Structure 1
């Protein structure tokens, strides 16, 4: 039995973006919305790093930008910070969460509050090379093809059902920096495309496979 992933009556995401760094994927989402390629409203941007440039990008675009103090935890969003995140999402009317370079593991409280509504982009062709600096992992391993993956978030690290992937050839003379730059180019195209599929209600689950429907329901 296929499970339709449906969250709204109208084809429009009310999107919150979580990030810890420069926010280049946030910028690609903003650009796609402005170009009419992504049916979404950006409701807020949340970062665990007070001076992360992703917050400046949000403020420059007139989007509420919030620093979320996640102490005492170093690598996860849990406890009081998790509850505060849920409150912020409710206050700003977000129904979907896009993790964009958010360097913390999302825990069950947020996953349960937003089932199948949290997505992430990872700079590798999962399930290969989960975790940090995946482009460097691929290069060190000798992979001939790298890429990026947009996936639903579950309780594991980069283990959720895959929505969309884009491949990037690894060149013999690649450095970690040159390979990462080409992967980022594909991320900036893939993330808005995957989010648009979600907005159009074209995704359904068959087991752990995410299947794209030709026509939305």
Structure 2
């Protein structure tokens, strides 16, 4: 990947709903701590609030309704074409609730990030908060990782832990995790845009150092 810096790092964000992580990125950009520009937001669902967030921030907002396509492959081909119109350096999945085809993932190899509400590799897939509670875990959290063809299985970059407290419900736990999501996602995107974060040989590297399988603990990062 060519080294990106400051506003030359072009970011496309994919969403499916409320867009709270998108808002965290928009806010980071507005504060000048995100060295890049969100050039487009694309939703696979119409009329979601995340599109309003983009419009309010004067970011081009696009709806590409997956229900209008007859297969996953044709949707991903159309989505790829819309993304590539913006010549992005980075594609950010922010609550994008689609399983992506291998061809799509390979096209953005090393330049697509996802955030997942668990301490990966635990609880890949859906219903992570309920599953953590049912397992009797004492801690839960969130992971930012590179996207590979394995669902929620690409190399981890950054994790934040939260305690599981007596009386927690999936909804209460989700809210606690989401606060951490909004802190760590802009951080990982910042590292990428600064040219410090890359994926090589199916491993995440920060400042040329291979990260541990769990990624970096957010508590150990510098502001």
TM-score, with structure 2 as normaliser: 0.86
Contact kept, 8 Å, 1:43 with 1:93, in 2: the verdict is no
Could you say which residue in structure 2 is the equivalent of 1:131?
A: 125
State the alpha-carbon separation in 1 of the partners of residues 43 and 176 from structure 2: 25
- 2:22 aligned with 1:16, yes or no? no
How many residues are treated as equivalent by the alignment? 208
Could you say which residue in structure 2 is the equivalent of 1:195?
A: 189
Shift of 1:42: 0.6
Could you say which residue in structure 1 is the equivalent of 2:59?
A: 63
- 2:48 aligned with 1:52, yes or no? yes
Shift of 1:14: 0.7
- 2:22 aligned with 1:26, yes or no? yes
State the alpha-carbon separation in 1 of the partners of residues 101 and 174 from structure 2: 28
Shift of 1:142: 0.9
Shift of 1:137: 1.2
Contact kept, 8 Å, 2:39 with 2:59, in 1: the verdict is yes
State the alpha-carbon separation in 1 of the partners of residues 29 and 4 from structure 2: 19
TM-score, with structure 1 as normaliser: 0.88
Could you report, residue by residue, the CA deviation over 1:136-190 in whole angstroms, capped at 9, with x for unpaired residues? 2111111101000000111121111101111111111211111111100000000
Question: Which portions of structure 1, spanning 4 or more consecutive aligned residues, are displaced by more than 6 angstroms?
Answer: none
State the alpha-carbon separation in 1 of the partners of residues 47 and 176 from structure 2: 26
Which of 169-178 and 181-190 deviates more? 169-178
Q: Please point out which of 165, 170, 186 is paired with 1:171.
A: 165
Contact kept, 8 Å, 1:16 with 1:89, in 2: the verdict is yes
**Paired residue secondary structure (2:85):** helix
> What runs of 5+ residues in structure 2 fail to find an aligned partner?
210-223
Structure 1 residues 135 and 151 mapped into 2: Cα distance closer, same or farther (>3 Å)? same
**Paired residue secondary structure (1:166):** strand
Shift of 1:7: 3.5
> What runs of 5+ residues in structure 1 fail to find an aligned partner?
1-5
CA RMSD of aligned residues (A): 2.0
State the alpha-carbon separation in 1 of the partners of residues 168 and 85 from structure 2: 45
Could you report, residue by residue, the CA deviation over 1:103-144 in whole angstroms, capped at 9, with x for unpaired residues? 101112222221111110000000001111211211111110
